[in-house]
Chains A and B, each alone.
Chain A
Amino acid sequence: MIMLLVSVALLCCSCPLFAVTFEYPNWTYTFTGYLKHESAYDTRQNNGVDANEYLLYPEPPIYDAQHQDINHRGQHAFFTLESRAGITAEGPSIKSYQPKAVVTADFFGRSFEIDAIADLLNLATMRYAYVDLTNDRWSFLCGYFWHLFCFDQYTPNSVSNNCGDPFVVDSRNPQLRISKLGKRSKFSVALSTQLDYTSDGPIGFDTSYSKNAIMPNLTLRYDHTFGTHTCCFAVDLKRLAPRLQTNTGYKTRESLMSGAINSTLALKWPDKVSCYSSLVYGQNMTNFVIFGGYAVHTIDPVTDVRTYANLYGTAVQTDIEILRWDQRCVPGIFLGYGKNLGARTSIIDDQLADDGSLVERRVYGIGTTIDHAWRIAPRLRLFYKTVCAGIELECTQASYGIRDTHAKVQCTQPVTNIRLLSAVYYIF
């Protein structure tokens, strides 16, 4: 999706038909966007966001009295939620810095809550709102944009809106970012908080854990370019405060520090082939849509004050695209693998009643009952002037099991979903 947007932006720049530009003395306004209609057929019930337009992984099996899997049931839907429009305003330079403001909206409504509330879909939503000041040595960015830990220029160019999630880091955040630009390198530092992509916790997915931790999310990143190829390396440090008050009414100062690393190698031979690969490893990466999270480690029997353990996760992916044929016919394939690595220390699992119903969650995150998952997704996109048509076959398998005392998943059983996705874009 991100690459698609980049492609769209590049196409918009290269073709005067695409963007509507107004120019005034010292100011340039550009209106861009696209309409996307997609049709998705699934062989199974799935866990996703925005009415499953944004697909993550298949739902676990639920067996009825005759041992038939209730979730082994297909779905079909049309979506236009990804359609978007935006404005880019470029004003007069401020000293040596060239300022640029970007505001873009889509129609996802309030998203990233698993099982999003259906009636909040289809509402215009902020996608980007940021200011960028750049000269030949420094770049400053503030506002709502892709997280620095996310290599937004090198994520898979899939037809699906998920762009490889949950095998690729994905997050947009309010942030302050400073970059030092070199000839072939760029070093960036960012402070960010959470808004749309949130961490999980005792009250569900919410921004309060990050806000109450006081410390913003700190990210460092280094990009190096050699020829037409790029490699990037990023480190992220985050602090969460899961609760301010215990279940027995005591004030508590619980907190959890988590770290993660991400790297990518983007190989690109212009007009021939592009190959983007990434590897991410870390703790508690729920807000980046990567398997893992955190869990209760100890509980004080009197005050109910708790300590927490990070759940580790890792994911690797490769996306290959053939850019021949004047880039009018672009075949590609995405390969992804993600694994839940559990905790380094013991955890206290969810509290269940005698009948097996959930009393209290104590393990927070996504895919915490999945040992590993993989995806293979071949695709083909065809471009003609302002219209693009794409088709993709997305096969995702997740191995569900039972968590042990270290949150590692045992006794796994794989379930597979195949999504046939077709989409038509009109780019303006």
Chain B
Amino acid sequence: MKHTLRIFLVLVYLSMRHTHATILSDKAVDFGGFVRHSSALDSRLTVPDNEGVSALFPLPKRIDPVGRDINARGQYNMLTLQTRLFSRLYAPPIGDARVQGYIEVDFQGRRNIAELIRMRRVYITCDYHNFSFLGGQTDNPFFISPYEPKTVTIDQGAPYNPFSRNPQIRFAYNRGICTVIGTATTQLDKLSPGPIGFSNTYMRNAIVPNLDLQVQIKPNDQLFFATSANYKRLAPRIASAVGDQIFKVHESINSFSAFAMGWCAIPQRQLQLATKIVYSQNMCEYDLLSGYAVRSRDPVTGKQIYTNLANVACWADLQKNVREWIQIGCFTGFTKNLGFGHPVDDNLLVDNAVPSSLVFAREPTVNYVMRIMPRTFWNIKQLSIGAELQLDHATFGSISKDGTICDSHAVNLARLHLVLLYNF
């Protein structure tokens, strides 16, 4: 009887949401998803990702022999790759512990191979009194889903906002308004760059997972604060080659990052305001602009010492419900390259600049990027229509020995993004 009641309560809970449940044996399952059709018109070529699903920032100038910028060229594309399906499984309780499973897939494939079904989130959660455990793949700990920007574009603020999903284990302890969360993550979909390109071998070879300690404070439903400290270790290589000889090397780089965020809702004015500031070292896999670089090289063994490329990013997002069915909002972001932790040795410089081949980051020649992105959403029952204008300003230059950017030039991007989304 007690068991049946639990299932009934789960079904009541599910019926209040926008998904649908059925009972398989003694488990409750709900499923749902959405079809998302997006079209984007760009004024300039952008940093390419999976078929242009999102535009991180504009490409730098590429000048032809008569001084014309080759990358100053528009693009238009339509995509349905962000269509998503999910299912949640409510298992029978184990003692006082509530256990759930969650599976979510989309069609973004891996990198430039679109259309393939991709695991997006797959995890198990177990809640036991004040403790909770999560194991599986879900958002990185720097991304707290309910309080992130509600942008039309799918990346929710990257490269100003850390955006990735990782395999992880997460423990949380809740006491009153305060929750302490410890997380260990590795890499699978979004990867760190290094000598052999984007790969998860650098983290695997480092043995230590990415460790994160976070504190969340939620005084009431209208306020939320969070801060986090993150440690990561990478082993870029396990062997070096000098001439015809190969040497075993123990190379590694340690990186520290942190963020602080605040979120508040003003129900009387139908307003939500969120803001976050992130200091990052070597967080390229979170779609941020930081990374690392070769600092020095032993001429005999080829062993390299590395230095972090630091970056600061901040954003603010404001959203207002004008009517029950219409929302407007605006996202603003700024991110800046802070340079290397230690200057690169003079003998590695070429023309007094650090060659790009020694820097492992998404785009190491970026000085700063800023964005202003107004948007609107119309919701008609289960149908949503979104429109967003993304205005980016980015500066690029050459990398000095301390990692700061000199001789920079600016480029601008305007992207008009329209989305039609049907939830089921």
> Residues of A at under 8 Å CB distance from B?
22, 24, 27, 29, 87, 89, 91-92, 94-95, 99, 101-103, 105, 109-110, 120, 123-126, 129-131, 133, 142-144, 173-176, 191-193, 195-196, 207, 210-216, 244-245, 248-251
B33 closest partner in A (C-beta): A103
Contact of B117 among A105, A211, A214 (CB under 8 A): A105
Q: Beyond A143-B83, A176-B37, A250-B64, is A91–B424 a contact (Cβ under 8 Å)?
A: yes
Within 8 Å CB of A124, what residues of B? Answer: 116-117
A22 CA to B32 CA, complexed, in Å = 12
Within 8 Å CB of A133, what residues of B? Answer: 383
Contact of A211 among B35, B52, B69 (CB under 8 A): B52
A110 CA to B107 CA, complexed, in Å = 11
Q: Is A143's CB under 8 angstroms from B35's CB?
A: yes
Q: Beyond A22-B22, A87-B85, A142-B420, is A245–B116 a contact (Cβ under 8 Å)?
A: no
Within 8 Å CB of A244, what residues of B? Answer: 45, 70, 73
B76 at interface, CB cutoff 8 A: yes
Q: Beyond A105-B117, A174-B79, is A89–B424 a contact (Cβ under 8 Å)?
A: yes
Q: Is A245's CB under 8 angstroms from B64's CB?
A: yes
Within 8 Å CB of A173, what residues of B? Answer: 78
Q: A-B pairs with the 6 shortest C-beta distances?
A: A89-B424, A174-B78, A126-B107, A124-B117, A129-B83, A144-B80
Q: Is B35's CB under 8 angstroms from A103's CB?
A: yes
Q: Is B78's CB under 8 angstroms from A175's CB?
A: yes
B75 at interface, CB cutoff 8 A: yes
Q: Is B64's CB under 8 angstroms from A110's CB?
A: no
Q: Is B116's CB under 8 angstroms from A125's CB?
A: yes
A21 CA to B64 CA, complexed, in Å = 59
Q: Which B residues between 52 and 82 are near A, CB-CB below 8 angstroms?
A: 52, 62, 64-66, 68-70, 73-81
B43 closest partner in A (C-beta): A214
A101 CA to B83 CA, complexed, in Å = 11
Q: Beyond A103-B35, A109-B116, A244-B70, is A29–B78 a contact (Cβ under 8 Å)?
A: no
Interface string of B397-424 (1 = CB under 8 A from A): 0000000000000000000000010101
Q: Is B73's CB under 8 angstroms from A249's CB?
A: no
A193 CA to B107 CA, complexed, in Å = 17
Q: Is A94's CB under 8 angstroms from B20's CB?
A: no
B2 at interface, CB cutoff 8 A: no
Q: Please, could you name 7 A-B residue pairs with CB atoms under 8 Å apart, sorted by A?
A: A87-B85, A120-B116, A126-B80, A129-B107, A142-B37, A213-B76, A245-B64
Q: Beyond A27-B424, A245-B70, is A250–B35 a contact (Cβ under 8 Å)?
A: no
Within 8 Å CB of A214, what residues of B? Answer: 41, 74-76
Q: Is A99's CB under 8 angstroms from B382's CB?
A: yes
Within 8 Å CB of A89, what residues of B? Answer: 424
Most buried by A among B41, B45, B85, B381: B381
Q: Is B380's CB under 8 angstroms from A94's CB?
A: yes
Interface string of B33-49 (1 = CB under 8 A from A): 11101010100010000
B251 at interface, CB cutoff 8 A: no
Q: How far is the CB of B200 from chain A (nearest CB, A)?
A: 19
Q: Beyond A142-B420, A195-B115, is A211–B37 a contact (Cβ under 8 Å)?
A: no
Within 8 Å CB of B51, what residues of A? Answer: 195, 207
A210 CA to B75 CA, complexed, in Å = 9
A207 CA to B50 CA, complexed, in Å = 12
Q: Is A131's CB under 8 angstroms from B33's CB?
A: no
Contact of A94 among B22, B52, B381 (CB under 8 A): B381
B114 at interface, CB cutoff 8 A: yes
Interface string of B113-139 (1 = CB under 8 A from A): 111110000000000000000000000
Most buried by B among A105, A143, A207: A143
Q: Is A212's CB under 8 angstroms from B75's CB?
A: yes
A284 CA to B78 CA, complexed, in Å = 21
Most buried by A among B69, B113, B116: B116
Q: How far is the CB of B84 from chain A (nearest CB, A)?
A: 9
> Residues of B at under 8 Å CB distance from A?
15, 20, 22, 31, 33-35, 37, 39, 41, 45, 51-52, 62, 64-66, 68-70, 73-81, 83, 85, 107, 109, 113-117, 380-383, 420, 422, 424
B65 closest partner in A (C-beta): A249
Prevailing SS type, chain A contact patch: strand
Within 8 Å CB of A94, what residues of B? Answer: 380-383
Q: How far is the CB of A386 from chain B (nearest CB, A)?
A: 22
B113 closest partner in A (C-beta): A110
Within 8 Å CB of A91, what residues of B? Answer: 381-382, 422, 424
A193 CA to B114 CA, complexed, in Å = 14
Q: Beyond A142-B420, A176-B37, A244-B73, is A126–B83 a contact (Cβ under 8 Å)?
A: yes
Q: Is B78's CB under 8 angstroms from A192's CB?
A: yes
Within 8 Å CB of A213, what residues of B? Answer: 76
A126 closest partner in B (C-beta): B107
A193 CA to B75 CA, complexed, in Å = 11
Q: Is A22's CB under 8 angstroms from B20's CB?
A: yes
Most buried by A among B15, B22, B424: B424
Q: How far is the CB of B178 from chain A (nearest CB, A)?
A: 39
Within 8 Å CB of A123, what residues of B? Answer: 116-117
Contact of B35 among A22, A92, A129, A196 (CB under 8 A): A129
Q: Beyond A27-B424, A214-B76, is A101–B35 a contact (Cβ under 8 Å)?
A: yes
Q: Is B65's CB under 8 angstroms from A250's CB?
A: yes
Given contacts A24-B20, A91-B422, A174-B79, 13 further A-B contacts (CB under 8 A): A91-B381, A91-B424, A99-B422, A110-B109, A123-B116, A126-B81, A126-B116, A143-B35, A174-B37, A192-B78, A193-B78, A211-B76, A245-B64
Q: Is A250's CB under 8 angstroms from B66's CB?
A: yes
Q: Is B78's CB under 8 angstroms from A131's CB?
A: no
Contact of B114 among A195, A215, A251 (CB under 8 A): A195
Within 8 Å CB of A250, what residues of B? Answer: 64-66, 68
A143 CA to B76 CA, complexed, in Å = 16
A175 CA to B34 CA, complexed, in Å = 17
A343 CA to B303 CA, complexed, in Å = 60
Within 8 Å CB of A130, what residues of B? Answer: 35, 37, 80
Q: How far is the CB of B257 from chain A (nearest CB, A)?
A: 34
A111 closest partner in B (C-beta): B115
Within 8 Å CB of A142, what residues of B? Answer: 37, 420
Most buried by B among A142, A175, A244: A142
Within 8 Å CB of A87, what residues of B? Answer: 85
Q: How far is the CB of B397 from chain A (nearest CB, A)?
A: 21
Q: Is A176's CB under 8 angstroms from B116's CB?
A: no
Q: How far is the CB of A149 from chain B (nearest CB, A)?
A: 16
B116 closest partner in A (C-beta): A123
Q: Is B64's CB under 8 angstroms from A131's CB?
A: no
Q: Is B76's CB under 8 angstroms from A193's CB?
A: yes
Q: Is B77's CB under 8 angstroms from A211's CB?
A: yes
